[in-house]
Structure 1
Amino acid sequence: MYTTTDERGILNNYANEPKMYCAAYPSVEQQRRYTIQAGVAAFFVTALVVVAFVVS
């Protein structure tokens, strides 16, 4: 951790910055899994809304 002191004696701590990297485009298999996850999430949200309407 980097620490500096100003003229009044006040400490200023700086956090370590993480190394930057470029994100890689998801592979076809990852894209397929994301699509399946989106479908399952949409189903659960739709089911939740339907149940809420039926109950009320």
Structure 2
Amino acid sequence: MPYTEEEGGILNNFAKEPKMYTADEPDKAEKRNYTILGVLGFLLVGGIIAVAIFASTAS
């Protein structure tokens, strides 16, 4: 455990830091999947809003 000692003898215990890594750039298939998921998410939110508007005006 990494301990540091401050003035007056107080010990501080710090957590281990995780290993750092760099992210890889997405390939064409991953970019296509992100685009498809974005469009589906947009359509889902738009559909929910449309249903809410329709339900609030119906009666």
Give the alignment's TM-score, normalised by structure 2: 0.76
Q: Once the two structures are aligned, what percentage of the paired residues are identical?
A: 43
The aligned residue for residue 29 of structure 2 is 29
Displacement over 4 Å in runs of 4+ = none
What 5-or-longer segments of structure 1 have no aligned partner? none
Richer in strand (by share): 1
Q: CA RMSD in A?
A: 1.4
TM-score by length of 1: 0.80
In the alignment, structure 2 segments of 5+ residues that lack a partner are none
